[in-house]
Chain A
Amino acid sequence: MVLSRTQRLLRAFAAWAVVMLFVFPIYYWVTLSIKLDREIFSIPPKVFSFETSAKSYEEVFGISLGFEEGLAVLPGGGDFYMTPRLWDSIVIAVCSTVLAIVIATLAAYALSRMRFRGQHHFVFWILSTRMMPPVAVAIPMFFIYRDFGLLDTYQGVILIHALMNMPLAVLLLKSFFDDIPKEIDEAALIDGASRFLIFRKLVLPMAVGGIAATAVLCFIFSWTEFLFVLTLTQTGLKTVPVVSSTFVTSTGTAWGNMAALGTAAILPAFVFILLVQKNLVRGLTLGSVKQ
């Protein structure tokens, strides 16, 4: 539609205003982590001008950010020392992503290239696991893990996160493989190459971008997952989203520390999501809406 200059300006103004409304809570949360405690609780709330402090980060990550002393590692070990929990989150997210991608890539290639009876039902079965309420998996899984000694272990959480990401990974990768012309495979088949060789040497290199985008989304969903970690871990390990609810104590909530942990947890995710902008919508819709 053709808009006049004024209309375009108005539109730009409205668009910025709306987006800022969505960005504002993030800004407010991030600034919380560098505010002094009494500034957090001031009425009226201080939004744009406040006294800053690195105390929250020092307590949460056990590092000193003071400018006089320079960067130093503090002993760490207070109630809010969270570096090990950040490490748990990274291990779980990375391992479950790798596992999900390896399994899903193989399956997605087959679903994209081969035809078999009941294929439609098979795809729908994968899709329907995406519909299961996590609580309906978490409850039986708790008892199964208890019997197999998998409660409170990395392996247990990694496996369940890989399962959770499986429908997304398979369907999304299938849509990326579908984009690569089948004629390439057929030509190589005639030349005598095996399916696995074609997969490894021809199709995989061409799908690297799509696989990377899928991996980023799997990472983010594992990174932000709450219910499974809450249910299947006790004291041995915890991820950032679950541990953030423990900042609520009987003597009040350590909002500054929680904001520091939250900020540290969302910054890597922000970087990742900006890397996959091009394929984001495709990922969010499990490969069905292309940009």
Chain B
Amino acid sequence: MVTRALRAPRFMVSDHPLPWLLPLIVILVVFAVYPLFYNIYLSFHEFAPRKREIVPVGFDNWAQLFADPRMWSAFYVTLFYTGVCLTIQLVLGMAIALLIDSDDPGFGFLRGLLTLTLVIPPAITGMMFLLMQDAQFGLITWMLQSLGILTQATPILATPSLALWGVILADVWQWTPFMVLIFVAGLRSLPRDPFESAMIDGANSWQIFRRITLPMMGKVIAIAVLIRGIDLFRMFDYVFVMTSGGPGTSTYTLSLYAWQQTFSFIKWGYGATLSLFALIVILVAANLFVAIFKVRW
């Protein structure tokens, strides 16, 4: 029976994928490819306020980009933010996942509770932590002051050395559960046998974790790092509502800097150039990661 189906010409069973894929291709071309080319076009132009129109400027925007200390500062802040958040969320996520991966009563409920942080709009999370880190009546400020860690002279989000950590706290709170849930799902799908033989051979918990759990979780960890890393690198919402990039330039991320150049300072071409730069960095980094860690979809 199967052979007969195989012998039938393709068009007779209308097996061509194009009609199925066409709507998707159209929306991706119109809303992803066209804007990309428009962005490249913009990056070679700039808005001239006197003429009230955009004029071609050649490679000026790109030259300016690499010579702009604020761009490099934003780039560094973005990388630092991505690296720190990713590290904290990975370690904390794995620790909590190991802790709540249990069939004892109540643990299913706990895992359900952890999903709640994921559906809060990041902008609202930002406002939440803005209030909790308020210099006068913020809950976190009050707790840190009571513990003597913080003095009244250093408001968290208005001190250049602390502001980024205030934003990182919000991100860690909202997205550590993301890692936890993925890792718990990964842990649950592991085969039992290697653990049983290791225990019979007398391995201790750390050895089991280091030599069996971690290597077998490799694929799941790689996917979690990839997805989270992409989202961290393009982060915008928290800094926009919590600090607007300040104090000074201490919390400017690339996305925020590009957005403000475009819409606050009417530097349409330069903003587009900055956003393209972020796009190129992210695509190169993500593709390298996929190739090195052999992530498959």
Q: Which residues of A contact B (CB under 8 A)?
A: 1, 8, 11-12, 14-16, 18-19, 22-23, 25-26, 28-29, 32, 40-45, 47, 102-104, 106-107, 109-111, 114, 116, 122-144, 159-160, 162-163, 166, 170-171, 186-187, 189-190, 194-196, 220, 223-227, 230-231, 240-242, 244-245, 247, 253, 255, 258, 262, 265-266, 269-270, 272-274, 277, 280-281, 284-291
Instruction: Tell me how far the C-beta of B11 lies from the nearest C-beta in chain A, rounded to whole angstroms.
Output: 11
> Footprint of A on B, CB under 8 Å?
1-2, 4-5, 13-17, 20-21, 23-24, 27-28, 31-32, 34-36, 38-39, 42, 96, 99-100, 102, 104, 106-107, 110, 112-124, 127-129, 131-132, 136-137, 139, 142, 146, 173, 176-178, 181-182, 184-186, 188-189, 195, 199, 205, 220, 223-224, 227, 230, 233-234, 236-237, 240-241, 254-255, 258-259, 262-263, 268, 271-272, 275-276, 278-279, 282-283, 286, 295-297
Docked complex Cα distance between A135 and B231 (Å): 12
A190 / chain B contacts, CB cutoff of 8 Å: 1-2, 4-5
Known: A285-B182, A288-B223. A129 touches B275 (CB 8 A): no
Q: How many Å lie between the Cα of A187 and that of B4 in the bound state?
A: 11
For residue B115, which residues in chain A have a CB less than 8 angstroms away from its CB?
273-274, 277, 280
A138 CB, nearest partner CB in chain B, Å: 7
Q: B227 to chain A: which residues have CB within 8 Å?
A: 284-286
Asked if A262 meets B278 with Cβ closer than 8 Å, knowing A43-B142, A45-B139, A162-B27, the reply is no
In the assembled complex, the Cα of A111 lies from the Cα of B80 at a distance in Å of: 38
Known A15-B100, A231-B259; contact A224-B272, beta-carbon cutoff 8 A: no
Rounded to whole angstroms, the CA-CA distance of A253 and B130 in the bound complex is 11
Across the interface, which residues of A come within 8 angstroms of B21, CB to CB?
A: 106-107, 110-111, 122
CA distance A253 to B242 in the complex (A): 13
- A284 and B119 alpha carbons, distance in the complex (Å): 11
> Is B119 within 8 A of A224, CB to CB?
yes
Task: Name the residue of chain A whose CB is nearest to the CB of B297.
Answer: A288
Partner of A281, one of B99, B181, B241: B181
Q: Is the CB of B39 within 8 A of A136?
A: yes
Q: Write 13 A-B pairs (CB below 8 A) sorted by A numbering.
A: A19-B110, A114-B20, A123-B297, A132-B283, A133-B234, A134-B236, A137-B31, A143-B38, A226-B240, A245-B123, A262-B127, A266-B120, A281-B185
Per the bound structure, the CA–CA distance linking A132 and B277 in Å amounts to: 11
Q: How far is the CA of A40 from the CA of B34 in the complex (A)?
A: 48
Q: Is the pair B142, A140 in contact by a Cβ cutoff of 8 Å?
A: no
